[in-house]
Chains A and B, each alone.
With several copies, the nearest count.
Chain A
């Protein structure tokens, strides 16, 4: 298959960066869910999901974003999305996710946005 799925979590200061690569569908979404779950359980609620290398997303992948955003915001954090390719962006737009999620062009922008809303204790 053209591009399987890969996921990598790193940190930038108090931010967690989850980088997605390849396709995020019903087969690979559980890995993404685990990755976000791990951050949330570790009390890391300021999360950037970098989609620069994400070539495909289906509702199973979008469902992961959807199911965590409330909890993370309740804890004073956020899930910011960056690097959407036009193909993936189209799906966010169709579902109205652009109104719910903070979507930035590049990772820099997402980091910047978090710095404008400093961490408040949960």
Chain B
């Protein structure tokens, strides 16, 4: 192991049906990277949210499109890139509403990006609409107590 970098890539059709596979993919990587269970759970959820957004918003449920998840880890961190060639958006223009407000407005959405930012150590988007949109996320590896 040591500082050797490990790389994994998964391409799947843009369908929520494939979120379970994406989570298995990320969970395997989290384990191999040495994350503990709660941290693996966070990584899993953040990537699920990212990919669900691509499937729903970037591709509008067009299952002929492709979601790409790249993951690498070394001794220090797990890096995840989620790539799409869909619609794109300006993350700065997405309002970050309090949960109380969403509840009052009977919204069923608006929690995903908040979750990703809470769960991961770094989250940033590189958007080139019509070309390629990439979301980069990092989870740092805290050494296990044992």
How many interface contacts (CB-CB < 8 Å) are there between A and B? 84
Does chain B have a CB within 8 A of A71?
Answer: yes
A 1-49 contacts with B by CB, 8 A: 1-2, 4, 23, 25-27, 33
Known contacts A27-B19, A58-B45, A91-B45; is A63 also within 8 Å of B100 by CB? no
- Is B20 in contact with A25, judged by CB distance below 8 angstroms? yes
Q: Which of B23-31, B73-81, B137-145 contacts A (4 or more CB under 8 A)?
A: B23-31
Within the complex, the shortest CB–CB distance from A90 to chain B, in Å, comes to 7
Q: Which of A94-102, A103-111, A112-120 contacts B (4 or more CB under 8 A)?
A: A94-102
One digit per residue, 1 when the CB lies within 8 angstroms of any chain B CB and 0 when it does not, for chain A 77-90 equals 00000000001001
Does chain A have a CB within 8 A of B104?
Answer: yes
Interface size classification for chain A: 20 to 34
Known contacts A58-B45, A58-B48; is A26 also within 8 Å of B19 by CB? yes
Within the complex, the shortest CB–CB distance from A74 to chain B, in Å, comes to 10
- Is A67 in contact with B56, judged by CB distance below 8 angstroms? no
Which A residues have a C-beta under 8 Å from some C-beta of B? 1-2, 4, 23, 25-27, 33, 56, 58-60, 62-64, 66-71, 87, 90-91, 94-97, 100
- B55's nearest neighbour on chain A, judged by CB, is A26
Does chain A have a CB within 8 A of B2?
Answer: no
- A68's nearest neighbour on chain B, judged by CB, is B106
Known contacts A1-B24, A62-B111, A66-B107; is A100 also within 8 Å of B100 by CB? yes
Known contacts A1-B28, A27-B20, A67-B108; is A96 also within 8 Å of B52 by CB? no
